[in-house]
Amino acid sequence: QLQASGGGLVQAGASLRLSCVISGRTFRTYAMGWFRQAPGKEREFVAAIDWRGGWNARKGYADSVTGRFTISRDTAKNTVYLQMNSLKPEDTAVYYCAASDTYSSASLAYDVWGQGTQVTVSS
């Protein structure tokens, strides 16, 4: 199971850190991803990190968040994070964390999903 938290209402330019705690499975063997879905839009990829974590972890980002968002994982805490800086109104969405056997930016590759956390950025 995945439990996401950390969302909220902030002004443009602010920062938030989302957390996703993993329980009930071997966290360290899975790639983790963050996706988001805005009202009336399809779910889209935000960021992913492979199973390794650490300085040599493979990470990927959507073009729209590159340079502003950072994904990381803490194996000891079974947690993956999404640090979001310089937030924009277009970042408003429900953010989901997900686990996959394979590092991927495709939502279909992820078989376990958290419940989502709302991020709202006002202008």
pLDDT tens-digit readout, 75-106 = 888 899 999 999 999 999 999 999 999 999 99
Structure tokens at 120: 């709202």
Read off the pLDDT of residues 20-66 as tens digits, 9 standing for 90 and up.
Answer: 998 876 666 789 999 999 999 999 999 999 988 778 889 999 999 99
pLDDT of residue 27: 64
Residue 14 predicted with pLDDT over 80: yes
Specify the pLDDT at position 68: 98
Of 106, 61, 99, 52, nearest to 83 by C-alpha is 61
Sorted by sequence, the CB contacts under 8 Å of residue 45 that are 6+ apart come out as: 33, 35, 62, 105, 106, 107
